[in-house]
Amino acid sequence: MSLIAKMFGGGKKQAQPTPGEAIQKLRETEEMLEKKSEFLESKVQKELAIAKKNGTKNKRVALQALKRKKRYEKQLTQIDGTLSTIEFQREALENANTNTEVLKTMGYAAKALKAAHQHLDVDQVDDLMADIQEQQDIAQEISDAISKPVGFGEDVDEDDLMAELEELEQEELDEKLLDINAPSEELPSVPGHKIPAAQAAVADDDDEMKELAAWAS
């Protein structure tokens, strides 16, 4: 088999690389090109220094250094373009790989969901929910029945109790009103000593009587 046939895929068919393997290869190539780019950058700076050093002393050496610098810069431009292409291809592969994994997971989940619903029927679920609701209603009725008081007071009418309470309150109010309006049987006590003003009035009357008696005599 010719070399050209081998180069273009003739002969034995090779196994297709997985997206993960291709991404790893692209990353390795990126690292290699970045290292080469750093090396060329250092070469450019070195040749530039030589050109500056010999610019006035040895023009031939300076020109040769500038020529080499131009070649290195051209290689740098080519490497930058290659890196951009590889980076774009790697990102596309990473996105495709992510989408593939997501689709696999979604398909797996869909199969699991289908298996979970395999033995379920909408009508059966509705019947089950109706039974659950019915049992809950029965449980509530039982709880209400248990919580009701039994025995004494079960046959007492609340309205009758309220009416009796109002009568008692009215009777108490009437008694208070009678106590307020009833006249007092005890007379107010008379003070034992004379009021100073009354004593002064009696003294004045005695003086007037004495003057009248003196005039009459």
Tokens 């699991």, located at residue: 112
In the block, which residue shows the tokens 């609340």?
158
29-57: b (≥16 Cβ within 10 Å) or e: eeeebeeebeebeebbeebbebbeebeee
Note down pLDDT in tens along the chain; length 217 residues: 454 455 455 555 667 888 888 889 999 999 999 999 999 999 999 999 999 988 888 889 999 999 999 999 999 999 999 999 999 999 999 999 899 889 999 999 999 988 888 877 788 888 888 889 999 999 998 988 888 766 555 566 778 878 888 888 888 888 888 877 666 555 555 555 554 555 555 556 666 666 656 655 5
Is the pTM here over 0.85, yes or no? no
Q: Which CATH class is domain 17-119?
A: mainly alpha
C-alpha–C-alpha distance, residues 92 and 99, integer Å = 11
pLDDT, tens digit (0-9, with 9 covering 90-100), for 151-191: 555 566 778 878 888 888 888 888 888 877 666 555 555 55
Measured CA to CA, the distance from residue 70 to residue 72 in angstroms comes to 5
Q: What is the rounded distance in angstroms from the CA atom of residue 156 to the CA atom of residue 162?
A: 11
The chain-wide mean pLDDT, for the chain, equals 80
CB hemisphere CA count around 121 (13 angstroms): 3
The pLDDT of residue 84 is: 95
Domain segments of the chain: what residues?
17-119
Contact call for residues 52 and 61 (beta carbons, < 8 A): no
